Chains A and B, each alone.
Chain A
Amino acid sequence: MTLFLEQMLNGVQFGVMLFLLAAGLTLIFGIMGVINLAHGSIYMIGAYAGTWVATETGSFWLGIPAALAAAAFTGAAIEFLVVRRLYGRDHLDQVLATFGLILIFNQTITILFGRQPLFVSMPALLDGSVELLPGLVYPIYRLAIIAVGLLVALGLYLLINKTRIGMLVRAGSTNREMVRALGVDIRLLYTLVFGLGALLAGLAGFMAGPILAVQVGMGEQILITTFVVVVIGGVGSIRGAFFASLILGIVDTGLRAYLPGLLRQVMVGPEADALGAGISSMGIYLLMAIVLLIRPKGLFIRNS
Chain B
Amino acid sequence: MNFRRMLLAASVSALAALPAFAAEPVKIGMITTLSGPAGYLGQDIRDGFMLALEEGKLGGVLVELVVEDDGLKPGQGKQIAERFLSENGIKLFTGIVFSNVAGATIPDIVDSGAFYVSPNAAPSNLAGKECNENYFVVSWQNDSLHESAGQNATNLGYKKAFVLAPNYQAGKDAIAGFKRYFKGEIAGEIYTRLDQTDFAAELAQVRAAKPDVVFQFHPGGLGITFLRQYEQSGLMKEIPMVVAEPSMDGVTLAAVGDAAIGLNVSSHWNSDFDNAANKKFMDAWNKTYNRPVTYYASQGYDAALAYASALKATRGNIDDADAFRDALRKADFESVRGKFAFGPNQHPVQNWYALKVEKGADGKPVLKTVGEVFKDHGDAYAADCKM
Contacts and interface: CB of A to CB of B under 8 A. Distances in A.
Co-complex (A, B): yes
Interface of A: 3, 6-7, 10-11, 13-14, 110, 114-119, 121-122, 128-129, 137, 139, 141-142, 208, 210-213, 215-218, 221-222, 253, 256-257, 260, 269-270, 273-274, 276-278, 281
Given A6-B204, A13-B200, A115-B43, A277 B193 contact: yes
Contact of B191 (A6, A213, A273): A273
A260 B257 contact: no
Interface string B184-199: 0000011111010110
A119 B229 contact: no
A137 B202 contact: no
B225 A212 contact: yes
B191 A129 contact: no
Given A121-B257, A213-B221, A260-B190, 12 more contacts: A10-B204, A110-B39, A115-B37, A117-B251, A119-B228, A142-B200, A211-B228, A211-B232, A253-B201, A256-B202, A257-B205, A273-B189
Contacts of B201: 7, 10-11, 253, 256-257
A10 B190 contact: no
A218 B224 CA distance: 13
Contacts of B192: 277
Contacts of A3: 204-205, 208
A215 B40 CA distance: 11
B204 A117 contact: no
A257 B40 contact: no
Contact of B195 (A14, A118, A221): A221
Contact of B198 (A14, A116, A137, A269): A14
Interface of B: 35-37, 39-40, 43, 167, 172, 189-193, 195, 197-198, 200-202, 204-205, 208, 221, 224-225, 228-229, 232-234, 251, 254-257, 291
B198 A278 contact: no
A278 B37 contact: no
Contacts of A141: 232
Contact of A117 (B190, B191, B221): B221
Given A129-B233, A129-B234, A116 B200 contact: no
Interface hub of B43, B208, B225, B256 (most chain A Cβ within 10 A): B225
A101 B172 CA distance: 36
Contact of B197 (A128, A218, A257): A218
B39 A274 contact: no
Nearest to A13: B200
A274 B172 contact: yes
Contacts of A6: 204
Contacts of A142: 200
Contact of A222 (B40, B197, B208, B224): B197
16 contacts: A10-B201, A116-B251, A119-B256, A121-B257, A129-B234, A137-B234, A142-B200, A210-B232, A211-B229, A213-B225, A222-B197, A260-B190, A273-B189, A274-B172, A277-B191, A278-B167
Contacts of A13: 200
B296 to A, nearest CB: 12
A139 B255 contact: no
B189 A10 contact: no
Given A10-B204, A211-B198, A215-B221, A115 B40 contact: yes
Contacts of A218: 197
10 interchain residue pairs of minimum CB distance: A277-B191, A10-B200, A115-B39, A277-B167, A115-B40, A213-B221, A257-B201, A213-B224, A256-B201, A253-B201
Nearest to B198: A14
A128 B259 CA distance: 12
B190 A215 contact: no
A117 B167 contact: no
A6 B234 CA distance: 14
Contacts of B204: 3, 6-7, 10, 257
B200 A216 contact: no
B197 A221 contact: yes
Contacts of A139: 232-234
A128 B197 CA distance: 20
Contacts of A119: 224, 228, 255-257
Given A3-B204, A10-B200, A277-B192, A117 B36 contact: no
B224 A117 contact: yes
Nearest to A255: B201
A29 B232 CA distance: 36
A6 B200 CA distance: 9
B190 A277 contact: yes
Given A253-B200, A256-B202, A215 B193 contact: no
Nearest to A272: B189
Given A10-B201, A218-B197, A281 B167 contact: yes
Given A137-B234, A253-B201, A260-B190, A274 B228 contact: no
Contacts of B172: 274
A217 B200 contact: no
